[in-house]
């Protein structure tokens, strides 16, 4: 993780939050919902890849994590499905 220039090590940066608390809570809840939905989608795509590959969970996870972005991972699953090939066969 990149460090911001000019900040001494070991110090935290405090940023005041503007606006009413209920507005901020709603934004935080929306962000939390997006994170949960994203994580759920990633796990479903990983399970689909494992089924398409007909391999172990570990093998599918290695292939999965070799692709760094969600878009690359989704393309991997879609291309694998479209080709009709299986790694285990």
DSSP one-letter string for 10-74: TPPPP-PPPS-HHHHHHHHHHHHHHHHHHHHHHHHHHHHHHHHHT--HHHHHHHHHTS-SHHHHH
What pLDDT, on the 0 to 100 scale, is given for residue 62?
Answer: 92
Q: Is 70 exceeded by the pLDDT of residue 30?
A: yes
Across 57-80, average pLDDT: 87
Domain locations in the chain as residue ranges: 29-83
- The whole-model pTM stands at 0.59
């Amino acid at each position: 993780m990149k460090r911001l220039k000019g900040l001494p090590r070991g110090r935290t940066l405090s940023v005041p939050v503007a606006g009413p608390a209920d507005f901020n809570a709603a934004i935080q809840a929306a962000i939390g919902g997006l994170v949960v939905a994203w994580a759920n989608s990633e796990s479903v795509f990983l399970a689909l890849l494992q089924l398409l590959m007909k391999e172990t969970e570990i093998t599918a996870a290695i292939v999965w994590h070799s692709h760094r972005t969600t878009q690359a991972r989704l393309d991997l699953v879609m291309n694998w499905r479209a080709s009709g090939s299986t790694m285990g066969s």
